[in-house]
Amino acid sequence: MATYTTDQRQLFTGSTIAVLKPATTEQVADIVRLAAHRGIGIVPQGGNTSYCGGATPDTSGRQIIVSLERMDRIREVDPVSMSISVDAGAILKNVQNAAANAGLLLPLSLGAEGSCRIGGNIGTNAGGLSVVRYGMTRDLLLGIEAVLSDGTVVSDMRKLRKNNTGYDIKQCFAGSEGTLGIVTGAVLRLAPLPTRRASAWLKLASGAPLAELLALVRRESADLLTTFEFMTARSIALATEAMTNPPSVRAGSGGTVLAEFASSSRHVGLDELMEAVLAEAIEAGWIEDAFLAQSESQRTAMWQLREAIPEGEKRRNGSVKHDISVPLSSIQRFLDLAASQVRSYDADLELSVYGHAGDGNLHYNVLVPPDVDRTEFTKRIESGLSLQLYDTAAALGGTFSAEHGVGRFKKHLLERYGDVGRIAAMRRIKKAFDPAGIMNPGAIVRPWRKEPAS
Ligand code: FAD
Ligand code: 2HG
Ligand code: ZN
């Protein structure tokens, strides 16, 4: 059971009575009823690729894991309504492929797409590489099927774009990390499948203003920008080490942006558009140079490099992750302040900084030196430097978790940075959905803690 009881980064191992693998929604409901009757905690699990320990049971030995991996059917693709209905255990890549076979795009794309599952994507409200155009998982959610903590089935697998008939229950599950119920099915919004793409590697000039560059690229791309990913030279080097056939690209002195325009129309000249935008950015002195992918294989190589960064960090000895986001207007300020905080904390630390700059989301990761104990190092950084970095993000109106969730690892951060009223509201939602506290106990909020007086 080790693969189910340990999180993907191997930071924490829990224990479980059993791993249950239901094949139908009715079986999920039966399991939940039985667990409720016995007072046993339930940890829903999809691909177990998440970052905050939300899919890992605690060490009490009083929890079961419900893996959705056998519930992996594509139920229906509706090309006219532009929607896809799936079981919650469907692997993201398979859902993307089913949509593509119908000439449509499921606009959710992340490095773990070959193993993460739709229920997990909803559970974490996953972001990824095309949020700048299409939004987070919650923005794709049209309908849901879920089992509540007493076995009641919410059956709302509708394809409607508009449905103002009271509380939006499906949205409660987005980002709920298994604490409110088990998602068993979902209807997701699709988009026209891009048939043309222009992908460019922008070598940034030192001190290039990221937000202004993004604004230029966005404005001049006629809203066709799908990706705006930032990478520093160190992150690129790590990714390169993890690839068998890395592309021979270099970072600019201010880092790199991988930008992509995509369109389903045959009438838009994307390359010309990209070239014109890049010329403007060069003219403004924001980029030193740019490289436009000339073939699908060049494009794929640039994407593979971006997606290989987490693996590159892992190979080296891992990293202490900071999935921060700040308002776009403060992204440069965060980078400057954080760099000086790191320097004064310990000038020898090495960073891997990259991320979804188009969304104001940076993975500001501190590399674990190759020869030190990863757990000890992580503890030291997380109790010192991490809090300084999060304080900086918070002071700029940002957050300590942009897309990876709270899970078990970041609960103390929610308590430190979360608005008192917001946490109180979360506890009330938790109590209403799960009065006996059996749904993923120990994740996100400590529900029974007394609310502080306001
Ligand atoms: P799991 O890890 O199994 O579960 C995640 C949470 O959801 C848990 O709390 C679990 O209890 C809950 N859950 C799972 N299934 C259900 C269900 N059916 N009903 C209710 N709750 C459920 N994330 C991003 O946002 N953006 C990225 O760019 C990104 N890139 C990644 C790259 C790599 C290489 C890796 C390893 C991970 C990356 N991730 C990224 C993180 C991860 O892939 C996402 O969080 C993903 O959405 C998790 O899906 P999963 O199926 O693995 O969920
Ligand atoms: C990504 O953007 C993921 O590649 C992983 O969200 C981030 O490992 C990380 O820090
Ligand atoms: Zn990410």
Q: Does domain 317-409 have CATH number 3.60.20.30?
A: no
- For the stretch 356-369, pLDDT in tens is 999 999 999 999 99
What is the Cα–Cα distance from 384 to 317, expressed in whole angstroms?
A: 20
Every domain of the chain with CATH number 3.30.465.10 lies at 74-192
Q: Which atom of ligand 1 is nearest to the CA of 440?
A: 11
Ligand nearest to the CA of 137: 1
What is the Cα–Cα distance from 112 to 93, expressed in whole angstroms?
A: 9
Which residues neighbour 330 within 8 Å (Cβ) at sequence distance 6 or greater? 360, 396, 397, 398
Ligand nearest to the CA of 129: 1
For ligand 1, whether the C-beta of 41 sits within 6 Å is no
Task: Work out whether the CA dihedral 247, 130, 230, 323 comes out positive or negative.
Answer: negative
The most distant pair of C-alpha atoms in the chain lies apart, rounded to whole Å, by 68
181 token code pair: 């119920």
- Give Cα 168 distance to the centre of its chain: 22
Every domain of the chain with CATH number 3.30.43.10 lies at 2-67
Strand 196-204, strand 319-320: pairing: unpaired
Distance 310 CA to ligand 3 centre (A): 9
For ligand 1, whether the C-beta of 43 sits within 6 Å is yes
Residue 454 is predicted with a pLDDT of 47
Q: Specify the residue for token string 């509706």.
A: 78
Q: How many residues in the chain? A: 454
Which residues of the chain fall below pLDDT 70? 447-454
Q: Are 326 and 390 in contact (CB under 8 A)?
A: no
Residue 60 is predicted with a pLDDT of 95
What is the Cα–Cα distance from 34 to 172, expressed in whole angstroms?
A: 24
16 token code pair: 């479980």
Q: Which atom of ligand 2 is nearest to the CA of 322?
A: 10
Q: What is the pTM of this model?
A: 0.97
Residue 453 is predicted with a pLDDT of 52
Residue 244 is predicted with a pLDDT of 93
Distance 310 CA to ligand 2 centre (A): 6
Distance 81 CA to ligand 2 centre (A): 32
**CA nearest ligand 2 atom 6, residue:** 128
For ligand 1, whether the C-beta of 178 sits within 6 Å is yes
Every domain of the chain with CATH number 3.30.70.2740 lies at 317-409
For ligand 1, whether the C-beta of 120 sits within 6 Å is yes
Among 3.40.50.10790, 3.30.43.10, 3.40.50.300, 3.40.50.1400, name the CATH number for the domain at 2-67.
Answer: 3.30.43.10
Every domain of the chain with CATH number 3.30.70.2190 lies at 196-310
- The class level of CATH for 196-310 reads alpha beta
52 token code pair: 């905050």
366, 82, 67: which is closest to 238 by C-alpha? 366
For ligand 1, whether the C-beta of 398 sits within 6 Å is no
Q: Which atom of ligand 1 is nearest to the CA of 407?
A: 9
Residue 301 is predicted with a pLDDT of 96
Q: Which of 110, 130, 229, 366 to mutate to test the pocket of ligand 2 (most atoms within 8 A of CB)?
A: 110
Q: Does domain 74-192 have CATH number 3.30.465.10?
A: yes
